[in-house]
Amino acid sequence: MTAIGFHASHEQIHPRALLEAVTHAERVGFDAAMCSDHFAPWSERQGHSGFAWSWLGSALQATGLSFGVVNAPGQRYHPAVIAQAIGTLGAMYPGRFWAALGSGEAANEHITGDVWPRKDVRNARLRECVEVIRALLRGEEVSHDGLVRVDRARLWSRPEQLPALVGAAVSVETARWCAEWADGLITVNAPTEHLRRMIDAYRSAGGRGPLHLQVHLSWAPAQAEAEAIAYDQWRSNVFAPPICWDLTTPEHFDVLSAEVPMARLVEVVNISADLGRHVGWLEEYADLGFDQIALHHVGQDQRPFLDAFGDRVLPKLRRAS
């Protein structure tokens, strides 16, 4: 049965309110959770960007849910520091934590003042980081000289059960590449045929482990309200790579998205006041073979969404499974 998780969006919600939301998600029946890891929001309207790793310790302690985080090691984060963070959470909460690793976005990474590399260099850097993180989690002493540098690093507190390192991808090509190193795959909602090609590419290349999907959605009791929420909060997130990778500030995203039409937004956010329609969308994704689907209501007030989906969506999905 596909697990249905709650996506905690640090870019949109104060970390204290986000902790309240994830504990409420568990109460109303969500199976799992995951969160973003940003230094800046996508838009000034979103207005937040809490530190994911501080928050994760609180969220794991406050709930019994499993948690994942999407992280980009290599520039803002040294891979040895991320290995230590993963190892500590894995040791404290065995079997409940995983990390999805990606090549990152300039909006978060430019803060170091370092050059933002080409995509092929970022991928190569990520691959080095994965190897460093895995070796440290295994207990090895690591020295490495490459796109990242490590000098005689060793983790002294390690988990008995190694957390999964999941590959983050939005293209068929990247999904195929992730199969070389990842313990699973995560992507975001897209037309089902595209998602099917990604899954096929990952599996046919030898990809192992669970398949995760993050679904952006907007629900409200009235259609106009659901559309207004999505337009206010998520129209800055409609841009495909390389634009979303390479812009550097929320102001850039806001200027670029000032004239985005609603027709463009509905391509990336499932917007409907009809809970039955949301059930249908989620059943289609589950039928593709995703092991976990994390629901991201793009509004800032999470309680109405959590109550409605806990009462009228999750039970139908479980009966269908």
Distance CA 129, CA 123 (A): 10
Amino acid at 80: A
Instruction: Identify the DSSP state of 110.
Output: G
Half-sphere exposure of 199 (CA within 13 A, CB side): 21
Q: Are 52 and 37 in contact (CB under 8 A)?
A: yes
Helices marked H in the chain — which ranges? Answer: 15-28, 52-62, 79-92, 106-109, 119-137, 172-178, 192-204, 223-234, 243-246, 250-256, 262-265, 275-287, 303-312, 314-320
**Residue 238: how many CB atoms within 10 A of its CB?**
19
CA distance linking residue 156 with residue 145, whole number of Å: 22
Chain position carrying tokens 């995760």: 212
Rg (CA), the chain: 19
Tell which residue, 261, 239, 264, has the closest CA to residue 252.
239
Q: From first to last of its 321 residues, what are the pLDDT tens digits of the chain?
A: 899 999 999 999 999 999 999 999 999 999 999 999 999 999 999 999 999 999 999 999 999 999 999 999 999 999 999 999 999 999 999 999 999 999 999 999 999 999 999 999 999 999 999 999 999 999 999 999 999 999 999 999 999 999 999 999 999 999 999 999 999 999 999 999 999 999 999 999 999 999 999 999 999 999 999 999 999 999 999 999 999 999 999 999 999 999 999 999 999 999 999 999 999 999 999 999 999 999 999 999 999 999 999 999 999 999 876
Question: What pTM does this model have?
Answer: 0.96
> Rounded to an integer, what distance in angstroms lies between the CA atom of residue 24 and that of residue 18?
10
Separation of alpha carbons 310 and 304, rounded Å? 10
Beta strand 97-101 pairing with 211-218:
unpaired
Q: Which two tokens stand for residue 182?
A: 């990842």
Tokens 């990604």 belong to 198
With beta carbons less than 8 A apart as the criterion, state whether 168 and 70 touch.
yes
Report which residue type is found at 116.
W
Diameter over CA atoms, the chain: 58
Looking at the chain, how many residues does it have? 321
Whether the CB-CB separation of 79 and 290 falls below 8 Å is answered with no
Q: Which helix (H) or strand (E) holds 32?
A: strand 32-35
Contacts of 232 (CB under 8 A, 6+ apart): 45
